[in-house]
Structure 1
Amino acid sequence: MTDSRSDPKGPDLALGIALDDLPDGGKLVGHKDGESVLLVRRGAEIFAVAATCSHYGGPLVDGLVVDDSVRCPWHHACFDLRTGEALRAPALSPLTCWSVEQRGDRIFVGEKRKKSSQASRDSNAEVLPERIVIVGGGAAAFAAAERLRREQYQGAIVMISDDEALPVDRPNLSKDYLAGKAPEDWIPLRTEGFYAKNGIEVRLGTKVADIDVRAREVVLADGGRVAFDKLLLATGAEPVRPSIPDANQPHVHTLRSLADSRAIIAQSGAARRAVVLGASFIGLEVAAALRTRGVEVHVVAPEERPMERVLGPQMGDFIRALHDEHGVVFHLKDTAASIGASEVLLTSGSTLTADLVVAGIGVRPRVDLAERAGLTIDRGVLVDAYLETSAPGIYAAGDIARWPDPHSGENIRVEHWVVAERQGATAALNMLGRRKEFTDVPFFWSQHYDIPINYVGHAERWDAIEIEGDIAAKDCLLRFTHGGRVLAVVTIFRDAESLEAELAMEQNKA
């Protein structure tokens, strides 16, 4: 999250640059009135937009131009070069655009262009729903509500969430925020005023008990009922708690919500040693964050090497070595047998002192509501290519949705933030009658200390891993293949190649 006014680089674009300095297909960063501006040339057209991604401030000059859009190298957000509109999550806010003028053989950047208010796009829908209800308060739920209003939908939107906080930037809860490097005002996706201004009714701390499919009503735990014309289920996932004695003590935590992250932060101040159960992405990101805070960390996990099931043995060894370098102590091929007031007893017989315990042993999709409603369940809520469930007019998105993935040819369910946001936006369009298939290539990122790991695609199994570069040198690309077909690509500090791999998968060239 950077400010485009900070230390602008490159030429003053108000004074102009030579046309030859921006070849066809080229990108160039300059500045106008103290703000960084990205120039992109496509044939005879030249675009001028803000130089940094509106998500976390990634440098778009290092991104990938595809048709009339630019993709961020960090987390694969995508923007329209003509309008600045955020086309793909994780970015939600548009880029500023400037006018561009060509005089002879020079290019000049003029004034900022006013944000165009989009005309209603709902004219193609047969009958617009009068009220859309969204159950959930996470990435998919928020993205759906935001997209509905961005599409100029004028009907009622009701978001029902059993969380006490407005939708937050969940990936940050285990990364920079937990490490103390990100202020809390970065965490809400939007302030309370956004919902009021956009007429989005948010009911926090509200549990949904049932869905009356026939009456088309959501039944609340307090007996109240909320009618809907279209319904989106975005109930997400919940952390798995250890099924061992005394796992519900106040110093034993899971991490999913803002309240969870705050509780871990509050106890970490006085904690000398923490035990993390599980070498999952969440578990290891928590370990990195607590080490950044100066807490001694021990990781207990049953596998031989961390993250091998998802990233393979080579990356597993790298991640182990990276955390070793930062002082994390691993207890692998072991599990917790019980948790005491100040120690964790392992099944191997060892005892670890623990002022703080965090369980990162996985999550389970919250499908109970969908199951009680009679929706088709298959290790998640089964949806079609339009994210519609077996009940017409009821959609599912995010961690609970199992959808037909055109890239792998299988029904898949993934628990990734970017996928959830993109599915929420697609479900919003389909609730308005657009009939847009969800075809995005899954993407997620993980961060361990200052090392980002990007993953595109989806490989539940593979028969070969092709490695380019040097993993230990933190400069690598790994292709996970099955039957000669690339299913997923993992990179460290090869952002452009990660974007190119994503595009190849989209175009079925992988």
Structure 2
Amino acid sequence: MSGQIVIVGAGQAGLQIAESLRAEGFDGEVTLLGQERHAPYQRPPLSKAWLAGESADDRLTIRAPDFFAARKIDLRTGAEVEKIDIAGRKVVLADGSALSWTGLALATGARARRADLPGAELPHVRMLRDLDDALEISRRLNSAKHVAIVGGGFIGLEVAAAARKRGCSTVVIEALDRLMARATTGPISAFFSALHRAHRVELHFGEQVAAISERNVTTVSGKSFPADLVVLGIGAIPNDELAAAAGLEVSRGIVVDVYGRTSRKNIVAAGDCAVLRCPDGVLRRFENVHFAVESAKAAAAALLGREKPFASAPWFWSDQFDVKLQMAGLSDGHDLCVERRAGDNAFSLFYYRGRQLIGVDSVNRPGEHLLARKLLDAGLSPDPALAADSAQDLRLLFR
């Protein structure tokens, strides 16, 4: 199959679209446009092992330079797209040049949410979204004595763990009443609160930041925390402005169906910039590597006129200190939670809606996490009493 496919965004999703096009037999032109100056790299380690100084720089690289030449993928870094011309089937770059396309893929990702606070633009106030952000935070951690993290979500807690490992006094300031409240349940939040406090991370809940100065972070309630490095971890905003300006349907992201198709023919989207319209009509955003990769495969197939729906259960992981949290499925709307424990720091929580298993959170239980993904993908729901009995082998359900 021939043609010209342009992919806007050279992160995990954009790269996967390019790879999948070649794997699916597309022999036309593939142009991969990356706004960053770096070739595609892995983002998850930026707030985990790499930031803690436990992983080398070369471990971030996804593909070697000769990979792109061998597969005839025209990778262009530092390429900023200014406009999408749907009628003319062109993308216009900031340098004035234009590229024609027969198929267009949007993998523009998301950006860190900025804080509208006095002092938020000071040089020691940082956000972590890309490699340049991580490089600057890592450099500042070399000399920082007091680190303040604004936001007790995954990014904030992973940065907090890295900061403590590098010897910095660390405080986390969270507006809600528990850690990771938007993504996890109360028992998981409580476990990680105890974990961080055990590593001498200071946690403050129900606190809104009022201002940041060169030396302090001050809250609305009047508390003040010393900080020579402040990291804002208050969420991400999908980069959907190009799509919106071009007339595509957007709703806190570029709306796609399970095949990665947007509201316009021959245009697909994948990864953090996309919001999935599920079969029941509900719009969901999944900001994780699994969705980036699988939605990209679906999008690539759609560009070739094939249907390969994104159908597997979403999964995610977070590394904090010596603990790995792995999540499969979704716990939203559960009415029953059972615990399957293997030790003080090793357990899984099985979430049910009625008798249907809808999600599993695992702490230091990687094998159980993989099993949970298989159960969810197969639509299998072990009896809650069976799931709660760690002596029972749930793998027998597949026999």
| TM value normalised by structure 1 | 0.72
Shift of 1:304: 1.3
Aligned counterpart in structure 2 of residue 491 of structure 1, from 362, 376, 383: 362
1:437 maps onto 2:314 in alignment: no
The percentage of aligned residue pairs carrying the same residue is: 36
CA contact (8 A) 2:259 2:295 kept: no
2:386 alignment partner in structure 1: none
2:230 alignment partner in structure 1: 357
1:453 maps onto 2:336 in alignment: no
Counterparts of 2:249 and 2:32, CA distance in 1: 23
Shift of 1:361: 0.6
1:70 alignment partner in structure 2: none
CA contact (8 A) 2:258 2:298 kept: no
CA contact (8 A) 1:239 1:363 kept: yes
One-letter code of the match for 2:333?
Answer: R
1:469 maps onto 2:328 in alignment: no
Counterparts of 1:236 and 1:129, CA distance in 2: 27
Counterparts of 2:365 and 2:281, CA distance in 1: 27
Counterparts of 2:181 and 2:347, CA distance in 1: 17
Counterparts of 1:446 and 1:187, CA distance in 2: 17
Farther off after superposition, 132-141 or 475-484: 475-484
Alignment of 1:390-429 (within 5 A): 390-405=263-278, 410-429=282-301
2:391 alignment partner in structure 1: none
One-letter code of the match for 1:351?
Answer: S
Aligned counterpart in structure 1 of residue 93 of structure 2, from 214, 220, 223: 220
1:265 alignment partner in structure 2: 138
One-letter code of the match for 2:35?
Answer: D
Counterparts of 1:251 and 1:458, CA distance in 2: 36
1:130 alignment partner in structure 2: 3
CA contact (8 A) 1:129 1:230 kept: no
Counterparts of 1:321 and 1:129, CA distance in 2: 57
CA contact (8 A) 1:217 1:228 kept: yes
One-letter code of the match for 1:494?
Answer: R
One-letter code of the match for 1:432?
Answer: L
**Higher RCO structure, 1 or 2 (CA under 8 Å, sep 6+):** 2
Counterparts of 1:378 and 1:245, CA distance in 2: 29
Q: Secondary structure at the match of 2:301?
A: helix
Summarize deviations over 1:335-388 as a string: whole Å, max 9, x none: 211111111111111111111110111001111111111111233211122111
Shift of 1:236: 0.8
Counterparts of 1:352 and 1:489, CA distance in 2: 36
Alignment of 1:3-42 (within 5 A): none
Counterparts of 2:252 and 2:360, CA distance in 1: 25
One-letter code of the match for 2:320?
Answer: H
User: Any unmatched runs of 5+ in structure 1?
Assistant: 1-127
CA contact (8 A) 2:180 2:189 kept: yes
1:504 maps onto 2:375 in alignment: yes
CA contact (8 A) 1:389 1:396 kept: yes
1:84 alignment partner in structure 2: none
Summarize deviations over 1:240-277 as a string: whole Å, max 9, x none: 11110121111111001111111011111111110000
User: Any unmatched runs of 5+ in structure 2?
Assistant: 382-399
Counterparts of 1:340 and 1:191, CA distance in 2: 43
Shift of 1:152: 4.1
CA contact (8 A) 1:275 1:357 kept: yes
CA contact (8 A) 1:129 1:229 kept: no
1:299 maps onto 2:167 in alignment: no
Counterparts of 2:66 and 2:168, CA distance in 1: 37
2:185 alignment partner in structure 1: 312
Counterparts of 1:475 and 1:306, CA distance in 2: 19
Summarize deviations over 1:185-231 as a string: whole Å, max 9, x none: 11111132322332211222222122111111112223221111111
1:386 maps onto 2:259 in alignment: yes
The number of equivalent residue pairs is: 381
One-letter code of the match for 2:19?
Answer: E
Aligned counterpart in structure 1 of residue 56 of structure 2, from 180, 183, 188: 183
**Greater than 6 Å deviation, 4+ residue runs:** none
Structure-2 change in CA distance of 1:187 and 1:414 (3 Å): same
Shift of 1:129: 4.2
CA contact (8 A) 2:297 2:308 kept: no
| TM value normalised by structure 2 | 0.91
Q: Secondary structure at the match of 1:309?
A: coil
Q: Secondary structure at the match of 2:156?
A: helix
One-letter code of the match for 1:377?
Answer: V
Q: Secondary structure at the match of 2:185?
A: helix
CA contact (8 A) 2:2 2:26 kept: no
